[in-house]
Structure 1
Amino acid sequence: MKVSVILPVFNGEKFIAKAIESVLSQSLSDFELIVVNDGSTDATSDIINGFSDSRIKVINQSNQGPGASRNNALKVVSGEYVMFLDSDDWYCPDALRIAYNQANENDTDISIFQIIKYYQGKYSKNDWFSLSNFPKEFENRVFNPHECRDFLFDISVSVPQKIFKREFLAEINAGFPEGIYFEDMPFFFYTFLNAKRVSIIKEYLYVRRKHHGSITESVDSKFLDTVRAGQILMDIFIENEWYDMYLFDLIAFKINGPRYALMGIEEKCKEKLFILIKKDYESIKSSEYYHDYMDNMGPKKKKFFSDVLKASDFQEYKKLLN
């Protein structure tokens, strides 16, 4: 088995058929597709069961979220390499063949390819998904992830944009945080910085559908999890002794995620998010890492940090902005 594709889905009746069809029609046929039906209550189950192909394996479970769904699938994968597909997206016809061949030929732990976005019948590209943050000298060669030190936090964390060697994931006991959204982010940094051999594939192999229900398109209650995801990320860097190496950019990344989320999140969620951020900052202030934050935050981030600690609630915080 060359590739295992993991496809979690929850109430995905609108788009799941397209996602499955894009795998079954691949030019590489030696794969397994593990569909994790995460407690769907719409017609998703009927659509999945409507496909008759021995390469499809279905895991039916109670609703546990995307992290647990992917982890449960990782327990049963058998392919040399593992890829991830979101239920509202699809692969280009040669995606598995190109990704597998390049990863296998270069013996990489992780290879990263390009994503193209789709919205209302139109396709578009951006620097983030086009891997434009990688300098030219990273193309057509294998590199160590720490060579990306200067732009590590500018790399797309999207897990479906990568192909992973299964043995590598098992060796480092890779898994997704469960019970939160934005589980891709901690998983990416943990796997990427543990890898020894990485490459990029400058070909568009994956189509990301933008629509109203997309996790990253609607800044709603899901963005409350940016705080927890950042805490998990910080723990990963500390536990793996990467903290000192990436200190300045790591702190900026951790502060900016919730900071931008607070600006854009829908009004009814602002107070909840503010309280989560405030509790996090109070914890940081009483920790051994407080001075690292104070010494490495720029003026805007330092003011945000200080204002959150000063204010008792979101309304009081807003007054400090004036």
Structure 2
Amino acid sequence: MKTEQPISPPFFSVVIPLYNKENFIQNCLKSVLNQSFTNFEVIIIDDGSTDESFTKAKQIKDPRFSLYQQKNHGVSVARNKGVKKSKAAFIAFLDADDQWYPEHLAMIYSMIKNHPKQQLFATNYQIEIAPKQYRNTKFSVAVTKPTQVINNFFEASLKDSLLHTITTVIRKSVFIEEGGFNPSIPSGQDTDLFIRLGLKYAIVFTPKLGAKYNIFSENNLSKTKHFKIRLQLLKAYENIENEYLQQYINLNRYAIGLGAKLAKNKAFYSAKKDLNFNLLSTKQKILFLLPSRLLKVLKKIQDIMTKKGIYITSI
């Protein structure tokens, strides 16, 4: 049941960047409208879509929604612009091809009220690996309490990331102080921001599901091939003396290198050169050093199993 809250000023500003997601944006916006906590505004920044995304977004009517258009400048510029236009003290992000579950904002609101001095808040998420097929997250620290404060983001994120753009809420003043998303990074902007935040702030987290993350949609940034840029992003933090940060960076470098190998991209060799093999599991070492032809065969097997509803950990 929805609980009515005063609509002015909003408690949350929801920022949604939109680029060529005509098949997803309406379900995304409906998932916001279905929130049990209703005191929010929604700022949609259309980043130069060339399909019917903008038209589809306009068809969802609500006085709390504001829709803007700009030339294509990238998701970081779109998100930062949305924050600049926001009125609330807390910023929630959602991507146009993803969806919240109805209690997401209500859970965040409760955590903020119970931990008023904290700056970062997040719910758990499911990963939609194929239409209506889901994988649950796995974290590298125990997150069994209904709500808990995680003091080390990197220690907790050596499997799946504790923070995800679509489930994270940040105090607006902190977002501005940290410089927001880096517009010079075309891919991996969330990783960059999470590293900066993780070096300074604890996270109030609930293992209860707040959203589902879609990894199969068209134009999904996670599928782009900015391998070299992602590796350069990680190098900016490799001299910081933080054991868990370095493990976190190494695992990201491993994942990027594996993707580059599958794509026959030369960035694989850069990743291999900087990779600390001592921090990898035996399985990861074997996969990374397999011939690309055999790695592709394993990837095809993984895709077939996924379609049958069986998910094998990352290849």
User: What range describes the TM-score normalised by the shorter chain of this pair?
Assistant: 0.7 to 0.9
Distance 1:281 1:163, change over 3 A: same
Query: For residue 192 of structure 2, what is the amino acid of its counterpart?
Result: P
Offset, 1:140: 3.2
Match among 101, 120, 126 for residue 136 of structure 2 = 126
CA separation of 1:101 and 1:60: change in aligned 2, threshold 3 A: same
- If you compute each CA radius of gyration, which structure gives the higher value, 1 or 2? 1
Aligned partner of 1:261 in structure 2 is 259
Query: 2:15–2:94: 8 Å Cα contact kept in structure 1?
Result: yes
Letter of the 1:226 counterpart: F
Alignment correspondent of 2:173: 167
Deviation (angstroms), 1:173: 2.5
Distance in 1 between residues matched to 2:25 and 2:277, nearest whole Å: 48
Moved more, 250-259 or 41-50: 250-259
| Identical positions, percent | 20
Distance 1:56 1:149, change over 3 A: closer
**Helix, strand or coil for the counterpart of 1:125?**
strand
2: CA distance between counterparts of 1:117 and 1:281?
Answer: 28
Point out where structure 1 has 5 or more consecutive residues left out of the alignment: 285-292, 307-313, 316-322
Aligned match of 1:41: 50
Residues 200-251 of structure 1, C-alpha deviations (whole Å, 9 max, x = no match): 112111122343526377x5xx12x23312322331464xxx3454475155
Give 2:199's aligned residue.
193
Other structure's SS at 1:142 match: strand
For the 8 Å contact 1:3–1:80, the answer to whether it is kept is yes
Shift of 1:44: 1.3
Instruction: Give the whole-Å Cα distance in 1 for the aligned partners of 2:134 and 2:271.
Output: 37
2:6 is aligned to: none
Q: 1:109 aligns with which of 119, 123, 128?
A: 119
- CA, structure 1 residues 304+88, in 2 after alignment: closer, same or farther (shift >3 Å)? closer
Distance in 1 of aligned mates of 2:95 and 2:107:
19
The correspondence of residues 15-164 of structure 1 with structure 2, limited to 5 A, is 15-107=24-116, 108-118=118-128, 122-128=132-138, 132-136=139-143, 140-145=147-152, 150-156=155-161, 157-164=163-170
Partner of 1:289: none
- Give the direction of change, closer, same or farther, for the CA distance of 1:153–1:227 in structure 2 (3 Å limit): farther
Distance in 2 of aligned mates of 1:209 and 1:295? 31
Taking the aligned partners of 1:140 and 1:229, their CA distance within structure 2 comes to 32
The Cα shift of 1:298 comes to 6.5
AA paired with 2:208?
E
Compare the two structures and name the one with the higher helix fraction. Answer: 1
Q: Which amino acid aligns with 1:109?
A: Q
The two structures have a TM-score, normalised by structure 1, of: 0.73
Asked if the contact 2:101/2:209 (under 8 Å) is kept, the reply is yes
- Give the aligned partner of residue 232 of structure 1: 233
Q: Note closer, same or farther for the CA distance 1:251–1:127 as it changes in structure 2 (3 Å cut).
A: closer
Aligned to 1:311: none
Give SS of 1:153's match: coil
Whether contact under 8 Å (1:37, 1:60) holds in the other structure is: yes
Alignment partner of 1:207 is 2:212: yes
Structure 2: where are the runs of 5+ without partners?
1-9, 294-315
Distance of 1:185 and 1:22 partners within structure 2: 25
Residue 14 and residue 305 in structure 1: after superposition, are their counterparts in 2 closer, same or farther (change >3 A)? Answer: closer
